[in-house]
C-alpha cells in the first residue's frame, strides 16, 4: 500500500472555541425536596442548582435567544426563597423525552440574593447526602 488510507486536513492557525469551565459545583434536586421554580406565572422543573445558576427542564420553549437575560425567576426551596433573580440563558439542549434543558446563569445578583443562593445550595447539598447508603461526608464548601 503506497498511498495513505487516511487523509488529514491541515489545522488552521485559529484557536478553536474553548469549552466552558464550570466554576461551581452543581447540586441535583433530590426527589423528596420541596422545590418550586417559576418565571412569571409559569412553573418549571428545577434539575440542579449551583452558586452560579440553575438547570431548568421545560415542556416547551422559553422563547428566548441564547445569552438573553430573563428577569423575574423565583426559586423556593423549603423555607428559603430566592425572589426576582435575573438569569442569562447559557444553553438549551433537547432531551430524548422531547423536553428542553436550559442552563441559566445568575446575573446582577445582590449581596442578599448571593447569601440566599448559598443557603439554598447548602440546604440541597445536605439533603442529597442525608440518606446516602455510602455514608459520604459533606466536604467543606470552599466557595464561601
- What is the pLDDT, as a whole number, of residue 125? 87
CATH of 27-126, one of 2.60.40.10, 3.40.50.720, 3.20.20.70, 2.40.10.220: 2.40.10.220
Who contacts 118 (Cβ-Cβ below 8 Å, separation ≥6)?
51, 141, 143, 144
Q: What is the pTM of this model?
A: 0.72
Average pLDDT over residues 116-124: 92
**CA distance linking residue 17 with residue 30, whole number of Å:** 34
User: Would strands 80-94 and 69-77 be described as parallel, antiparallel, or unpaired?
Assistant: antiparallel
Domain ranges of the chain: 27-126
Partners of 80 in beta bridges: 77
Helix-strand-coil split of the chain, %, nearest 5: 15, 35, 50
Instruction: Convert the pLDDT of each residue in 73-109 to its tens digit.
Output: 999 988 889 999 999 999 899 999 999 999 999 999 9
Amino acid at each position: 500500500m503506497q498511498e495513505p488510507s487516511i487523509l488529514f486536513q491541515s489545522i488552521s492557525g485559529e484557536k478553536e472555541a474553548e469549552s466552558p469551565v464550570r466554576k461551581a459545583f452543581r447540586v441535583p434536586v433530590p426527589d423528596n425536596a420541596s422545590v418550586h421554580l417559576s418565571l412569571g406565572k409559569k412553573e418549571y422543573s428545577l434539575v440542579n442548582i449551583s452558586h452560579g445558576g440553575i438547570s431548568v427542564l421545560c415542556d416547551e420553549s422559553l422563547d428566548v435567544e441564547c445569552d438573553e437575560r430573563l428577569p423575574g425567576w423565583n426559586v423556593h426551596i423549603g423555607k428559603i426563597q430566592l425572589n426576582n433573580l435575573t438569569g442569562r440563558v447559557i444553553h438549551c439542549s433537547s432531551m430524548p423525552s422531547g423536553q428542553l434543558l436550559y442552563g441559566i446563569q445568575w446575573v446582577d445578583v445582590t449581596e442578599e440574593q448571593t447569601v440566599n443562593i448559598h443557603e439554598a445550595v447548602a440546604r440541597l447539598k445536605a439533603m442529597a447526602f442525608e440518606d446516602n447508603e455510602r455514608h459520604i461526608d459533606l466536604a467543606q464548601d470552599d466557595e464561601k
